[in-house]
Amino acid sequence: MKLLVSSDDSGLVKEVIFNRGTDTSKKDGKQPKSIKNFCSEPQITSKTYLLNFADTYLIASRYGGNVSVYEYTNEEIELEDEEMYKLLHSFKLDVDKSDIPIALIALESLESIIVAYESGVVYIINLSDEKFEFKPIPIKVSDEPISTFVQNPYDNGIFAFGGKENDAKIIRLYEKSLNAEVFKTKKVSEAFIPQVIFNAKNVKNDHLDLRVPIWITQILFLQDHPENGYKFITATRYGQLRLYDTTYGRRPTKDYKVCEKPILTLTFGNQQQTEVIVTDTHNLIAKYSLTDIDEKAYKTISASAGEIRKPVPKLLGKFSEGGNTGATFGIATNEELLITGGLDRYVRVFDIVSRELLAKVYIGVEISSVIIVNAEDELTEEELAAETPKIQRKKRRDLALEDKEESDEEELWNQLDERNKKQRTK
Amino acid sequence: MSQSTSEALKNIKNKQRRQKVFAELKHAKNKERHTKRSERAKEERADPTLREERLATNIPETIESKRVYDETITAEVEGVDEFAQYFLSGKQPKILLTTSENAKKVAYEFADILMDFLPNVTFIKRKKEYSMVEIAQYASKRDFTELIVINEDKKKVTGLTFIHLPEGPTFYFSITSLRDTKQIEGHGRATNHIPELVLNNFNTRLGKTIGRLFQSIFPHTPEIQGRQVITLHNQRDYIFFRRHRYVFRNEEKVGLQELGPQFTLKLRRMQKGIRGDTVWEHRPDMERDKRKFYL
């Protein structure tokens, strides 16, 4: 398994190669094959976002408006360490020093990337020019600060954002048919004018008639969506998960409270998009069902409103093996694996279905993002050779066991028969 | 006690008699042990190599020596942390001390104890209208490097919050076993010299961060003529605070006089920034494995 992990303490990118079963917390456990540092950055930065752009570039967005483009090194070509992940260009965006990058999105149809900042400004950077002479286009999408900016992967040009006291909004940033040719024309900035197409409304006041505060931290678009509309999920800093259907109305169709602490990340737990994996600012990494809802799970008794019952999505389990102690920022999934990394400086690999810990590697730096380069274990010839006979031996042992059991049974029957015979003779 | 003696004891039906016999046996055994020891001591005094040999071979197993393997102890510290800028700038520590809201007398008394040894410290009475984050912002604008908040609950000092300024991190320790100088027998009186600092056993990655925190609180140039030492000794995740004055009596012997106070800290939570995302939080189930330590 090969991962790229961003390091907050040193601003580096670490390439980690290990196999399933690796556990650095055990004294004689399996150790990772290699941990190497790349993409050194003279400045100390935190909140690094990593992106694999079409397997050609590795892009890192850092604090203070730094966006670096590195050569994405394909594993088939053997290169010296110095040659790998070579810095091709570094964009310096004109943002405030304290402005926090919140998203890094690849737009493959436009051969561009989007870098979003907390202040509500997003930058479009075109990468089709190999000399990187392109001037990033700033677009103001929101006057209020935003905490998340996401792309709808199922509809080109559709984005969503939200933040503190800034409820979820869906915008069309550019026309669906737009392609990379637009960057060659002079009227580039005219092609990117955000149009708000959906503006979410806050949930109704609670039973004490108090306004429910808003702070969106994550948005996820669902694949199945109605005609002329979208379905999406939001996560909040108050531990809520909300489901929206834009054709149903501006308020969420469902509003669940899943945890007490702020939710940091939200990802789908399966291909059918019926489960979500949530991480919070404490040590929670949990899987919730979106279809299996316990209608009466939450109960409170109010003097004015009487008994209040609220639905809660079923907790399908926590990824607690491996003793996570801190907030989890970096999360990456594929069909079978969940990879997490956060403030406790470990990368953990879980089986997404059984939630078993498959590997745990101490990285030594605080992790803000993780990308999977290769999810398959790389076995050396020796290991391959060692693994095959093991299975055969096991089989043989199984066979032997079965034989034994059979013979035991036969004996039992024989004994019974004998007894019967004896009784008869009596 | 051998199997036969315990059997024999069981056969004595009278309880008082049984207890008496048992006590006699116990006494005899103790006496035997003591005579053996004194004999051994005599032999070892005559030939010190025997003692060295015995100590080298007879190493008792402790919880510490059987500690669960932690790879972060041997791993190198990578990158820079939030304290780096402070240490590089060569700034002197400047501490703002306050209490929790609605603090009672004990909190102020403890503040007084702390002000005795904290360098360059200002005490401010806590006002209800400002949150910790706001206080931290005001303090960092006024060049404070550390904000310390005493936590008092039900007229007992329960905790200490350390916020490194301007960017964090935040640490919360619980406090137990607080003893004032007056309660320590044979205590001395501290002088105003900057003390030396001894940090013991801060080994893991988290432990090193805690060590950095205590380093950042005290000035890095001790006044050695004061002969005062502050020790923060970590053992099994409990951090013991002690203060001593030392004197070199001759070339081999060092005398120690305790100056007080004494208290024990235990890390409960570490957060990034000023009370931001959790890096580490104590959970009761962490104490299930007695051999696992986090600092």
Q: Residue A11: list chain B partners with CB under 8 A.
A: 79
- pLDDT of A54 reads 75
Residues B46 and B95 in one domain: no
Residues A40 and A95 in one domain: yes
User: How do residues A140-159 score in pLDDT, each as one tens digit?
Assistant: 998 999 999 999 999 888 99
Inter-chain touch B72–A27, beta carbons under 8 Å:
no
User: How do residues B273-288 score in pLDDT, each as one tens digit?
Assistant: 899 899 999 999 999 9
Contacts of B93 (CB under 8 A, 6+ apart): B119, B120, B145, B146, B216, B217, B218, B219
- Among A11, A326, A364, select the one facing B279 at the smallest CB separation: A326
Residues B189 and B221 in one domain: yes
Does the CB of A321 have a partner CB in chain B at under 8 Å? no
Residues A270 and A400 in one domain: no
Q: Percentage of residues in chain A with pLDDT exceeding 70? A: 87
Contacts of A28 (CB under 8 A, 6+ apart): none
User: Rounded to the nearest 5°, which phi and psi values hold at B172?
Assistant: -125, 125
Average pLDDT over residues B46-54: 91
Residues B279 and B163 in one domain: yes
Question: Do A101 and A115 meet the contact criterion of CB atoms below 8 Å apart?
Answer: yes
Q: Which two tokens stand for residue B272?
A: 């990034």
Residues A367 and A391 in one domain: no
Complex confidence, ipTM: 0.83
Average pLDDT over residues A287-302: 91
Whether the per-residue pLDDT at A410 is higher than 80: the answer is: no
pLDDT band at A116; cut points 50, 70, 90:
very high
Q: Residue B69: list chain A partners with CB under 8 A.
A: 25-27
Question: Do A290 and A276 meet the contact criterion of CB atoms below 8 Å apart?
Answer: yes
* Predicted TM-score (pTM) of this structure: 0.85
Residues A283 and A397 in one domain: no
Average pLDDT over residues A268-280: 93
Whether the per-residue pLDDT at A408 is higher than 80: the answer is: no
- Of B218, B205, B196, the closest CA to residue B145 belongs to B218
Whether the per-residue pLDDT at A389 is higher than 60: the answer is: no
Inter-chain touch A9–B281, beta carbons under 8 Å:
no
Q: Which two tokens stand for residue A411?
A: 């004996």
> What are the DSSP calls for B187-232, one per residue?
-----SSPPEEEEE---SHHHHHHHHHHHHHS-SS--GGG-EEEEE
- Smallest CA–CA distance, residue B64 to chain A, in Å, is 16
pLDDT band at A68; cut points 50, 70, 90:
confident
- Smallest CA–CA distance, residue B249 to chain A, in Å, is 45
Question: Do A253 and A201 meet the contact criterion of CB atoms below 8 Å apart?
Answer: no
Inter-chain touch B78–A9, beta carbons under 8 Å:
yes
- pLDDT of A426 reads 47
Residues A389 and A373 in one domain: no
The reply to whether omega before B166 is within 30° of 0 (cis) is yes
Average pLDDT over residues B18-44: 95
Q: Which domain holds residue A399?
A: 383-426
pLDDT band at A190; cut points 50, 70, 90:
confident
Q: Which residue has the higher pLDDT, A389 or B103?
A: B103
Whether the per-residue pLDDT at A180 is higher than 60: the answer is: yes
Q: Which residues of B205-222 are buried (b: 16+ CB within 10 A; e: fewer)?
A: bbbbbbbbbbbbbbeeeb
Inter-chain touch A364–B280, beta carbons under 8 Å:
no
Radius of gyration of chain A (CA): 27
From CA B292, how far away is CA B63, in angstroms rounded?
9
Q: Kindly report the CATH number assigned to the domain that includes residue B275.
A: 3.40.50.10480
> What are the DSSP calls for B38-89, one per residue?
HHHHHHHHH-HHHHHHHHHH-----TTTTPPP-HHHHSPP-S--TTHHHHHH
Q: In this structure, which amino acid lies at residue A346?
A: Y
From CA A409, how far away is CA B282, in angstroms rounded?
54
- pLDDT of A43 reads 60
Average pLDDT over residues A22-42: 84
- Smallest CA–CA distance, residue B75 to chain A, in Å, is 7
Residues B213 and B155 in one domain: yes
Q: Which domain holds residue B30?
A: 3-57
Residues B20 and B100 in one domain: no
- pLDDT of A406 reads 65
Least confident stretch, A119-123, A182-186, B70-74, B212-216? A182-186
- Smallest CA–CA distance, residue A157 to chain B, in Å, is 33
Residues A402 and A260 in one domain: no
Average pLDDT over residues A116-141: 87
User: How do residues B177-193 score in pLDDT, each as one tens digit?
Assistant: 999 999 999 999 999 99
Whether the per-residue pLDDT at B176 is higher than 70: the answer is: yes
- pLDDT of A381 reads 61
- pLDDT of A392 reads 47
Q: Flag whether B106 is in a domain.
A: yes
pLDDT band at A400; cut points 50, 70, 90:
low
Residues B167 and B47 in one domain: no
Interface of B with A (CB under 8 A): 69-72, 75-81, 84, 205, 272, 276-281
Residues B83 and B199 in one domain: yes
- pLDDT of A134 reads 81
Q: Flag whether B294 is in a domain.
A: no
Inter-chain touch B205–A345, beta carbons under 8 Å:
yes
Q: Which of A285, A344, A347, A367 to mutate to test the interface with B (most CBs of B within 10 A)?
A: A344
Whether the per-residue pLDDT at A77 is higher than 70: the answer is: no
Residues A271 and A139 in one domain: yes
Whether the per-residue pLDDT at A136 is higher than 80: the answer is: yes
Q: Of the spans A30-34, A97-101, B183-187, which averages the highest pLDDT? A: B183-187
Q: In this structure, which amino acid lies at residue A79?
A: L
In terms of CA atoms, which chain A residue is nearest residue B167?
A98
From CA A339, how far away is CA A354, in angstroms rounded?
14
Q: Kindly report the CATH number assigned to the domain that includes residue A124.
A: 2.130.10.10
Q: Which two tokens stand for residue B254?
A: 């060092």
Average pLDDT over residues A169-191: 84
Residues A393 and A277 in one domain: no
- Smallest CA–CA distance, residue A23 to chain B, in Å, is 10
Radius of gyration of chain B (CA): 25
Residues B20 and B166 in one domain: no
Does the CB of A24 have a partner CB in chain B at under 8 Å? yes
Inter-chain touch A364–B72, beta carbons under 8 Å:
yes
Residue A375, burial from CB neighbour count under 10 angstroms (0-12, 13-18, 19+): middle
Q: Percentage of residues in chain A with pLDDT exceeding 90? A: 40
- pLDDT of A352 reads 92
- pLDDT of A76 reads 58
Residues B159 and B272 in one domain: yes
- Angstrom CA distances, B120 to B93, B94, B143, stand at 7, 5, 12
The number of distinct structural domains making up chain B is: 2
Average pLDDT over residues B223-239: 94
Residue A290, burial from CB neighbour count under 10 angstroms (0-12, 13-18, 19+): buried
User: How do residues A237-254 score in pLDDT, each as one tens digit?
Assistant: 999 999 999 999 999 999
- pLDDT of B16 reads 96
Q: Percentage of residues in chain B with pLDDT exceeding 90? A: 82
The reply to whether omega before B169 is within 30° of 0 (cis) is yes
Residues A357 and A247 in one domain: yes
- Of A145, A195, A187, the closest CA to residue A170 belongs to A195
From CA B7, how far away is CA B12, in angstroms rounded?
9
The number of distinct structural domains making up chain A is: 2
pLDDT band at A390; cut points 50, 70, 90:
very low
pLDDT band at A82; cut points 50, 70, 90:
low
Residues B82 and B53 in one domain: no
- Among A8, A281, A364, select the one facing B278 at the smallest CB separation: A281
Residues A360 and A341 in one domain: yes
Instruction: Name the average pLDDT for chain B.
Output: 92
The reply to whether omega before B261 is within 30° of 0 (cis) is yes
Average pLDDT over residues B119-129: 93
Least confident stretch, A53-67, B57-71, B101-115? A53-67
Residues B193 and B282 in one domain: yes
- Among A327, A344, A365, select the one facing B78 at the smallest CB separation: A365
Residues A368 and A393 in one domain: no
- Of B89, B88, B108, the closest CA to residue B98 belongs to B108
- pLDDT of A303 reads 87
Average pLDDT over residues A70-91: 73
Least confident stretch, A250-259, A289-298, A358-367, A402-411? A402-411
Question: Do B199 and B295 meet the contact criterion of CB atoms below 8 Å apart?
Answer: no
Instruction: Name the average pLDDT for chain A.
Output: 85
Inter-chain touch B278–A327, beta carbons under 8 Å:
yes
Q: Residue A281: list chain B partners with CB under 8 A.
A: 276-278
Inter-chain touch B78–A10, beta carbons under 8 Å:
yes
